[in-house]
Structure 1
């Protein structure tokens, strides 16, 4: 079990609530690597002693860090530091780069493939094209804090993005490139989430055995002219979560 070497203890004289101070102190241990990815953190009793605060306050801080995707609780075992995790929920239309940045993760992208191919039936239906129309296919490995999060395969009409296969080799964010180079302003997107499995082709890249359960996310993005992007993402289920708040 990882122990605490040094951190900022909550100070009752400060204006910030004790739970917030505790949360920031524990977050710092995770973000600076004092608590390594996958390590078990001290139990609640130990944290109460180390921080000098009540169990209720400790639980408040731990719950916030769990909801932020930094910790995971395992019944009967304890609490552990998560690997880089994307927590998806109700949000606006964002790129992967923006989503990662909002979670405090360092985004990374490895372009695996960029070429023009004929549209399959699924791609043609999604983009309102004819079967076989040329589309730009971009296949990318997406990283968070240098750890693989998923593999995304995007298809875009070549008729609208003639030089995209070449432009993509220099890009970090596809949406930033589309906005700057082609004047695309996304207005909405439709997403479908389903359970799938890691393919043999993706296994080594995503660092999981073939057949491992994964999230498969299909997105069709639109601008004022209609659908411009159809992307299928295979996301590591241990590093990508979907959370919702339901109201009655």
Structure 2
């Protein structure tokens, strides 16, 4: 290989290697040195430190907790399936914490997704998921209100919404899921106790019953530094 074709090792990658050496002597939730301290210790710019820290953050080696950076535990692996996110989350130690109900009317965008007319009533449930006291996901479910009378007083928000659907005789026929990446907006960052640079997975789901009638439109936001998603596939 010609020297000019060899991969170039960037300064922040060298710094990252040295930061990984620091991590070997630390355990989960130990505080990680601040940017200014690391920049002075390694005699590099703070921007170089930020780049190295950003990569460690994406890999789930460290996490930001408000104004602190701490050593992270293993990422939570979440399987992708048609089943309830809530039940799967609970099996992995997550719980529904903060929640809120909102009564809305469908605008053109929401009416299209919920197969409603503009102005029809919509019921929204928003839940924040936590694990070990750390906020890790924000789930927003929008429902055609006419299909779920008395849902708000009847439903225990820490339980599975899908179990409540089944109790009402609503059975899933199919789901249409998409996964994207994004950064949180200011409100989302505040609800999840992260800064606006934290990478997020965005899972969007439209669910239909066995008759093809829409059940829900769901948008779930999960911290990319703390979550990973898995799926088992088989050949036809």
Distance in 1 of aligned mates of 2:84 and 2:194? 24
The equivalent position to 2:178 in structure 1, one of 192, 213, 216, is: 192
Instruction: Answer yes or no: is the 8 Å Cα contact 2:96–2:130 preserved in 1.
Output: yes
RMSD of aligned C-alpha atoms?
Answer: 3.1
Query: Unmatched 5+ residue regions in structure 2?
Result: 1-25, 31-58, 63-70
Distance in 2 of aligned mates of 1:183 and 1:246? 29
Correspondence 1:153 to 2:143 = no
Alignment of 1:17-56 (within 5 A): 37-38=28-29
Query: Unmatched 5+ residue regions in structure 1?
Result: 1-34, 40-70, 75-79
Change (3 A) 1:210 1:131: same
2:77 paired residue number: 87
- If the length of structure 1 is used for normalisation, what is the TM-score? 0.60
2:125 paired residue number: 138
Deviation by residue 1:24-73 (Cα, 9 ceiling, x = unmatched): xxxxxxxxxxx96356xxxxxxxxxxxxxxxxxxxxxxxxxxxxxxx967
Q: Figure out how many residues of one structure are paired with residues of the other and give that number.
A: 174
Distance in 2 of aligned mates of 1:144 and 1:128? 35
Correspondence 1:223 to 2:209 = yes
- If the length of structure 2 is used for normalisation, what is the TM-score? 0.63
1:239 paired residue number: 226
The equivalent position to 2:111 in structure 1, one of 96, 102, 124, is: 124
Cα displacement (A) at 1:187: 2.5
Distance in 2 of aligned mates of 1:240 and 1:86? 5
2:187 paired residue number: 201
1:187 partner SS: strand
Cα displacement (A) at 1:205: 2.2
